[in-house]
Amino acid sequence: MARPRIALIGAGQIGGTLAHLAALKELGDVVLFDIAEGTPEGKALDIASSGPSGKFDATMSGTQDYADIAGADVCIVTAGVARKPGMSRDDLLGINLKVMKSVGEGIAKHAPDAFVICITNPLDAMVWALREFSGLPHNKVCGMAGVLDSARFRHFLATEFNVSMKDVTAFVLGGHGDTMVPLVRYSTVAGIPLPDLVKMGWTTQDKLDAIVQRTRDGGAEIVGLLKTGSAFYAPATSAIEMAESYLKDQKRVLPCAAYVDGAYGLNGFYVGVPTVIGAGGIERVVEISMNKDEQTMFDNSVNAVKGLVEACKGIDESLA
Ligand code: A3D
């Protein structure tokens, strides 16, 4: 059977890392697309040359021509610009919306059967716009944010408790922005919910609150340290986890920006929710029950995303 084809639209920091991880995991043959001439070709050659030592079989190519992504099984989109210190994700909206238009049209024409994972920020609005521009089925277009935000939360919790990250599960819902909702009640160490761990004296409520806030600010903390761009190792690893679940029909339960129509009281809207990802794309949206405070935070986050979607419609009238 032929190897799957993975198209990476955007060959910058995340795109290059995605290509390397896809190769190391032998997920398939990779084509890197970027408008910056030489960048995708150079990264493809560099990563391909690591094959003998990295011990993987995968072809790598770079291109400026959408025709070369033909037949891709998965497209991961990072094209656009990233944050610099002092910028919010929302500051990227105008520039990245135009990029989503060309990317959406390119995918629609050359890889209409692909499972598409958007990473470009502001994530929830960009994945919505990308779906609109591409016209692909809603279950085949999603956004990566929840896996990353949950991974940050899990990392901070595992460090606080001095336990393996593998035994910490965590949920982060809502939009990928300052209003994201880390759900403490649904986060556990080996099945023990965080509120119980506070009662057991493993941590204090104040420390837990600080971890929740650090999770919300996790992206900005890294932007502040790097100064020239934003996080890329963890975002790439998170998107690869989603792509692998699709390609291998793993049916992982992963939080991601998915099209929600009916659940959570939403009618046709992209926002971060738990999903099941398998060969059918987003096969299921998992609706969890929230208490009053969680619901208020979630509503707040949804409203922030709605504002961004309205802003997109104001910029590009074909979206209105
Ligand atoms: P960067 O290293 O700048 O790479 C972006 C690439 O996109 C560059 O190589 C550009 O040449 C290319 N590009 C620009 N316009 C186009 C176009 N029209 N067509 C094709 N390629 C184009 O950024 P990065 O890889 O660090 O980040 C990429 C995006 O991911 C940014 O929007 C970030 O804000 C976003 N991001 C999202 C998360 C989430 O958790 C959702 C996390 C980190 C970064």
Tell whether 83 is in a known binding site: yes
Pick from 17, 35, 127 the residue to mutate for probing ligand 1's pocket: most ligand atoms within 8 Å of its CB: 35
**Amino acid, res. 28:** G
273 beta partners: 256
| Catalytic residue list contains 176 | yes
Predicted pLDDT of residue 315: 92
Tell whether 265 is in a known binding site: no
Tell whether 14 is in a known binding site: yes
Edge-to-edge, what's the strand order for the sheet holding 168-173?
A: 168-173, 181-189, 192-193
Atom from ligand 1 closest to the CA of residue 118: 41
Residues lining ligand 1, judged by CB closer than 6 Å?
Answer: 9-15, 34-36, 39, 78-83, 92, 96, 99, 102-103, 119-121, 123, 144-145, 148, 176, 229-232, 235
Segments of the chain scoring below 50 in pLDDT: none
Q: If we measure between CA atoms, which residue out of 171, 121, 165 comes closest to residue 10?
A: 121
Instruction: Verify cis geometry, omega within 30 degrees of 0, for the bond prior to 122.
Output: yes
Give the separation between CA 130 and CA 141, rounded to whole angstroms: 8
Q: What is the pLDDT of residues 10-58, one digit of tens each?
A: 999 999 999 999 999 999 999 999 999 999 999 999 999 999 999 999 9
Q: What is the pLDDT of residues 173-216, one digit of tens each?
A: 999 988 899 999 999 999 999 999 999 999 999 999 999 999 99
Model confidence pTM above 0.90? yes
Atom from ligand 1 closest to the CA of residue 39: 9
